[in-house]
Structure 1
């Protein structure tokens, strides 16, 4: 799953990684600076509307009126395209969360040790997301969810699910309204970065508290250290 992530680079860095030109989207060199993004907050979400790329603050979570539980924050990539809850979002609400890392917790000696997971070359990450269109409007708790996939190899030792991270060259097709739902399924399967693209290290348990927001949250610590 993905319950916390970091979105701290500048918009320029995310857009440069996608090869976007200045006239395609407004650039802003100021760092976003969020080292502990939590569900229930608004997150900058890259999306396409009427052939225009946009970056809108959108509520992280999805709970339609008939849903009587806490808003969901993730959708399984294996079933999102066909399930009752997420099929409309998959068809008409695909988006991207630009990020730098995400956090997962591993249970060790009756305690949970958080790990920071990031690209081995420190490249920006692009999480596949789906949500309620049109973005930029307030839909209450009908915001967006991050699409997840199964973890394999060494990463499964930390958590069995992870965000579906798309390669930069697949982002525009994923976002395009011209992309069919079935083609989006192919992109999710074929353009996801493999586990070998990532590395990880233990971080402070302070990341579990939303009130902690500093850069120190992504710095490595010894396992078991607070």
Structure 2
């Protein structure tokens, strides 16, 4: 699954992998985002395409349509999202990308859970596939977005059996295109996913368990 991640660099450091300035309708901002502990239930910078240009909007992480009487969901399984009653329309018309530096998972060790930070070995940003209730500029606090997850494999399964669907920059751009249909999106999810062997991970401080903690020390390795 994906329940926490870091989104700390400047917008430009993420966007440069996806599109040149002519393809964006996003004001330049040199300030780092600086969020090392992004949690569900908060607004997150979400990238999507409108009118053939990329837009960046603060969108609520969580999805709870009016008929849903439970807490908001934060993840959607790639295996079923395209056909499920709850997510089919989002898959067709509300695809987006969450850019990040990496994400956190917790692994039980003895009677405690040890958090790990997972990121690309080559230092590139992580582009996580997302679906949500478009248009995202509405800022709706109930029907926001979810991060799409897939089954973990290889070494990643030792940390958790689910992982966010991380796309290559090229696949991420195609995923967001408004003229990409649901079937094509499924093909992008299958063919454009970044393989597990492209990631590395290390244990981090348990302070990441408190969402009030936001400093860069959260992603540093601990013994």
> If the length of structure 2 is used for normalisation, what is the TM-score?
0.97
Moved more, 45-54 or 99-108: 45-54
After superposing on structure 2, the runs of 4+ consecutive aligned residues of structure 1 that deviate more than 4 Å are: none
* Alignment partner of 1:35 is 2:39: no
CA distance in 1, matches of 2:99, 2:141: 22
CA distance in 2, matches of 1:92, 1:23: 23
Aligned to 2:22: 23
Aligned to 2:121: 120
The one-character-per-residue Cα deviations of 1:7-43 (angstroms, maximum 9, x if unpaired) are: 001111101122x222222332211110000000000
CA distance in 1, matches of 2:118, 2:172: 21
Q: What's the secondary structure of 1:14's corresponding residue?
A: helix
> How do residues 28-177 of structure 1 correspond to structure 2 at under 5 angstroms?
28-177=29-178
Aligned to 1:9: 9
CA distance in 1, matches of 2:157, 2:97: 24
Moved more, 20-29 or 88-97: 20-29
CA distance in 1, matches of 2:155, 2:49: 35
Q: Which runs of 5+ in 2 are unaligned?
A: none
Moved more, 110-119 or 168-177: 168-177
Shift of 1:79: 0.4
Q: What's the secondary structure of 1:145's corresponding residue?
A: strand
Q: In angstroms, what is the RMSD of aligned CA positions?
A: 0.8
Q: Which runs of 5+ in 1 are unaligned?
A: none
Q: What's the secondary structure of 1:136's corresponding residue?
A: helix
CA distance in 1, matches of 2:45, 2:203: 26
> If the length of structure 1 is used for normalisation, what is the TM-score?
0.96
Aligned to 2:195: 194
